[in-house]
Amino acid sequence: MIRPLLERLEARASAGRPVTVALAGAGRFGTSIAAQIAQMDGLRLAAVADPNAQNGAEALRAAGWADDQLQRCESPVAAQAAVEAGNAALAPDADALASAPVEVFVDATGIPEVAAHNAWAALRGGRHVVMVTVEADVSCGWALAREARRQGVVYTLAAGDQPIAIMELFDWAVALGLETVAVGRGTRLYPHDRHGDADQALARLGYDAETAGRLRLNAQMYNSFRDGTKSQIEMCAVSNMTGLPPDRRGMHEPSAGLNELADLFAPRDAGGLLHRTGVVDLANAVAPDGASEIPEHIATGVWAVVTCDDERVREDLRIHGTRVSRDGDRTLLFREYHLCGVETPLSIAQAALLGAASGAPRETPTSEVLAYAKRDLQPGDTLDGSGGRLVYGLIDRAEAVSGGVLPLGLAYGAVVREPVAADQPIPVDAVRVVQDSFVARLRQEAGA
């Protein structure tokens, strides 16, 4: 799909009509998107919304705008006028960009409630939406995708992040008629990570204060990487795009290197871990000793284990250099890296020029991320969501929410009413959810 996409980008550039883009959230990921857009013909970042004006201005500079072209806009009328005059609109929130003449809206706020609201408004306004905030997608992405279909626009997750990198492997295999045994991403989860606090996360990940400030890293978001919640969220997004469930709550997440994946992700009667095939899972780079890393790990990459009924095809897969299981039945596909931000403009262009999503949730969710207590919770505690002090998330089939467990997307600002022990799922009846939650409203209207 890259060649037709490139041709359309070149045509828009030649005609002087680049695809116009608005971005909400000018943190590390958002600014990376802005910088990459500046490298490409046929795309232009025309507007940025961020409550921190300095961050927003930095993203616009990264996209190639000069300071005298940045126009602070507090209202939709001002933003529209700025873009139409050939300037860049810098707004405190996405609502102020409601009338700006842009084709694609990108949400990189990282806050599910804000991202869901932003995406819904953009879709209702006839814009394509690229959702970077995966936390929002797993909470109500299927509702957003339904609205996109009603409006005749595209809702998609972002290329460059692991869920779409996995989808590229999955789609390639499905297009060739191969059977998917398991798909996943790498992780780096140490024994005590699950209960870590955000104020420790950046240091534990190796960032000093100067680097964290320069890169504008969100400590709570990075803590969700470290406590394992982010990988659970991302695999839930993959599950809801592919229809592949987890084999069990939280997945297996074995310590495994590239040479082991095709053997581990196999049916139990073939010596593997799986009670069923066609699942999502994870591969941990941390060795069983909990301290060292295993050889040839795939901590920052993505993978898929596939097979085929035809021995001739399996033989071809074996002899052309792939890594295969010991019995020769399963083949490992993998990519050792993912390029957050760098590849995201491909999803922007694909939505605007091809009318296609890089990946989007199916009509109803296959899986949910469930809220678990990081510590003993007491009445009056206010839950702080993914990466916070009080909550982590584990994936399970969507039916688990019907069974009364709080979905992680509703664990932001919810007040605890009944005690919940550490490392136990949080019952939905044990908390009072934020009454005007936009995520809750979308879930209710979508029948979740």
| Secondary structure (DSSP) of 78-122 | HHHHHHHTT-EEEESSGGGGTTS--SEEEE----HHHHHHHHHHH
**Alpha helices (H) in 320-410, listed in sequence order:** 344-349, 399-402
Residue 403 pLDDT class (50, 70, 90 cuts): confident
Do residues 132 and 156 touch, judged by C-beta distance below 8 A?
Answer: no
CA distances from 378 to 174, 194, 196, 219, 371 (A): 47, 19, 19, 25, 15
Structure-block tokens of residue 61? 């500079």
Pairing verdict, β 70-72 and 88-91 = parallel
In this structure, what DSSP letter does residue 405 have?
Answer: B
CB neighbours of residue 68 within 10 Å = 7
Q: For the segment 414-443, what is each residue's pLDDT rounded down to a tens digit?
A: 999 999 999 999 999 999 999 899 999 999
**At residue 113, what are phi and psi to the nearest 5 degrees?**
-65, -45
Q: For the segment 170-206, what is each residue's pLDDT rounded down to a tens digit?
A: 999 999 999 999 999 999 999 999 998 888 888 878 8
Nearest to 182 by CA among 283, 284, 321, 323: 283
Q: Where are the domains of the chain?
A: 2-160+341-354, 163-189+228-335, 367-445
**Alpha helices (H) in 125-249, listed in sequence order:** 134-151, 162-175, 198-204, 209-215, 219-226, 229-242
Q: Which residue has the tokens 């969710």?
A: 365
CATH topology agreement for domains 2-160+341-354 and 367-445: no
Q: For the segment 29-38, what is each residue's pLDDT rounded down to a tens digit?
A: 999 999 999 9
Q: Which residues contact 180 (CB under 8 A, 6 or more apart)?
A: 170, 173, 174, 242, 244, 277, 278, 304, 305, 306
- For 401-415, b/e burial (b = at least 16 CB within 10 A) is beeebbbbbbbbbbe
Q: Which residue has the tokens 């139990």?
A: 268
Q: For the segment 143-170, what is each residue's pLDDT rounded down to a tens digit?
A: 999 999 999 999 999 999 999 999 999 9
pLDDT at residue number 435: 84
Q: Which residues contact 288 (CB under 8 A, 6 or more apart)?
A: 255
Q: How far apart, in whole angstroms, are the C-alpha atoms of residue 120 and residue 442? A: 9
Q: For the segment 40-96, what is each residue's pLDDT rounded down to a tens digit?
A: 999 999 999 999 999 999 999 999 999 999 999 999 999 999 999 999 999 999 999
Span 396-416, mean pLDDT?
Answer: 95
Residue 348: alpha-carbon gap to chain centroid: 15
Residue 130, pLDDT > 70, answer yes
Q: For the segment 337-358, what is each residue's pLDDT rounded down to a tens digit?
A: 999 999 999 999 999 999 999 9
CA distances from 189 to 196, 200, 217, 332 (A): 11, 15, 20, 22
Structure-block tokens of residue 75? 């209202």
Structure-block tokens of residue 156? 């998609």
Span 129-154, mean pLDDT?
Answer: 98
Q: Say which amino acid occupies 309.
A: D
Average pLDDT, the chain: 96
Nearest to 121 by CA among 394, 384, 68, 113: 113
pTM: 0.96
CATH class of segment(s) 2-160+341-354: alpha beta
What Rg do the C-alpha atoms of the chain give, in angstroms?
A: 22
pLDDT at residue number 448: 62
- For 362-390, b/e burial (b = at least 16 CB within 10 A) is eeebbbbbbbbbbeebeeebebbbbbbbb
CATH class of segment(s) 367-445: alpha beta
Residue 219, pLDDT > 90, answer no
